[in-house]
Structure 1
Amino acid sequence: MGIIFSLWFFIISTLIPVRSEVATLMSIQNQLGEYHSIADHPKAKGVNLKFKVPKGWEIQEGDRPNIVVKFISEGDSYLVQVNEAPTFVSKNQAKELLSDSEYLDGLIEEYNSIFNEVEMISNRLVTVDNYPALEIELKGSMERVGAVINFRMKIWQIVYEDRFITLQGGVFTGREYQSKLNLFTQISNTVIFPDQYN
């Protein structure tokens, strides 16, 4: 009887955390709405990309030259930026580039030139719809008209043929930032490059 109880307890205690994780992911998936495409946008520089936008978030035009689109909700934001690469980059070359510590240091230096006290929490090579991507989590602060705001950011740097695509989600800290970072991950997981199937 004791062995059966122990086995039952082990199974239940193992399944409950898994069920909880699945429920959390399903809850986040339910927050996502319809697909939004940047295919015909002039700032997209010919990139055909689509992704799901969270329900209730406002879609806005990007307010910088290479920011194609952003969507916001209560100060949290997610944006898509497209920059030209100097040349065509194969998927294998992209993996090498994104794994290069000098490349990563350059990205962090670039973020430090825009924000204050940027610290990298994590980085890893991942795949976004069959394309190599560098996933980075940062924390830092920024000053706007005298007010200092702390933030967390999750970024996916994708090398797509002859373009650099940045997917960037940002949230002010102290506002359930971990659940927002998970939401940003789910948005990036919906990215589709339809042209790869032609």
Structure 2
Amino acid sequence: MTFFASGFRLCSLRYLLALLLGLTPISEVRPVMAEEADPVAPWVNRQSVNDTAGVLGFLIGQDMAISAISRQHPDLATALRARAVMFDATYGNPMERVETFLKRGVGDQLPKLQEEITAGLAPLLDRQIPRYDAETFLREMDERIEGRLIRDNVLATMLWLKFQADPVVEMDEWAVPYSSAGHPKALGLDVRLKLPRSWKGEEGERPHIVRKWTSQNGAGLDMIMLTVFATPKQAVTLADLQAEVDATGAAGFALEDHRVTDAATLRMDRQPALRVDQEGMLHSMERVMQDRFRTYLVFTETAMLQIQCMASAEQDSPAEALQARFEGLKRLCDRVAGSFVLPQQYE
């Protein structure tokens, strides 16, 4: 790792810590609803602003390094410019997306933040950069284009900024595998899925939630959960599920204060399954949220698995905006469910 590349990480982290500690004006995040300007715009809160500010530091540092190396080693300038173009293409012009998001979160404080970051990084580059370090940085740019040598939070944030409007597209190049093998809540099942890289995976707090993934690297309002419930040893067939859909529209699978809006039977990796969409209100303590669910229920001989995808919004948010987000989430949910594999059945 070159001295300036490591310095960028340290400086970016220093600013991020300053933000978290409230030492700069950006700690005051404007309360902006995602639906104000764009129904699928990223959710603005303290975490998403802090994460995006970290990306801002990373990008400013990278641009300053390219400029400094190009001045001191002109023969590398063309190759560096080419890498910069490839980087921007890979992450969808991240600086433009970062600035657009931070303007929503901190308003007219953004130029001051950019000045502070630039001033903090300048001393690292106001020195002679050895040829070896310059060539190493050029190679590191290739790694960054491929998603390596970038802190997890920075990479995930650039990805959700790029793919927020249609998160399923992220799965084309940035899907990551998950296996529940060995997890005590999985009841001995090895459930394998693929999820978008920018969705933060965490352990579920409740007894049956094996894993949960939250949009915007954990800062968003959309969630995917994998749950496993033990069932009596009695085979549920596709015909059984179809009969339930025909008789009740799968109303028995609705949560409290929810109604089923669509249901269909299918097979998932040879297992009988049911897809259920529902909408309603979710009550948690004194808070009430409106939500939309798409759930895939998969039945094995001993368990019922659920891949549950949820979009939520404040109670007074426009329902149309929530529905627009849910349409994108449904496409992602279908892609995640399509990656479902239960390898034990092939042993």
RMSD (CA atoms)? 2.1
1:88 CA drift (Å): 4.1
* TM score, norm. by length of structure 1: 0.76
In structure 2, distance between residues paired with 1:68 and 1:48: 11
Residue of structure 2 in register with 1:76 after alignment: 222
Residue of structure 2 in register with 1:192 after alignment: 341
In structure 1, distance between residues paired with 2:260 and 2:275: 11
Residue of structure 2 in register with 1:107 after alignment: 253
Alpha-carbon spacing, 1:46–1:88, altered in 2? closer, same or farther (3 Å)? farther
1:162 CA drift (Å): 1.1
Residue of structure 1 in register with 2:330 after alignment: 181
In structure 1, distance between residues paired with 2:174 and 2:286: 35
Higher share of residues assigned helix: 2
1:64 CA drift (Å): 0.8
1:142 paired to 2:282: yes
Q: Could you tell me which of 118, 121, 143 is aligned with 2:261?
A: 121
Unaligned runs of 5+ in 2: 1-165, 314-320
Q: Is the 8 A contact 1:32 1:187 kept in 2?
A: no
Amino acid at match of 2:308: Q
Alpha-carbon spacing, 1:28–1:56, altered in 2? closer, same or farther (3 Å)? closer
Q: Whose Rg is larger? A: 2
Higher share of residues assigned strand: 1
For residues 81-139 of structure 1, the C-alpha deviation after alignment (integer angstroms, 9 at most, x for no partner) is 111111141xxx4213322327833322xx11xxx2x1111000012112110000111
Q: Is the 8 A contact 2:291 2:312 kept in 1?
A: yes
Q: Is the 8 A contact 1:67 1:81 kept in 2?
A: yes
Higher relative contact order (CA 8 A, sep 6+): 1
In structure 1, distance between residues paired with 2:174 and 2:334: 12
1:98 paired to 2:272: no
Amino acid at match of 2:262: S
Amino acid at match of 1:193: L
* TM score, norm. by length of structure 2: 0.45
* Percent of aligned pairs sharing the same letter: 22
In structure 2, distance between residues paired with 1:106 and 1:26: 29
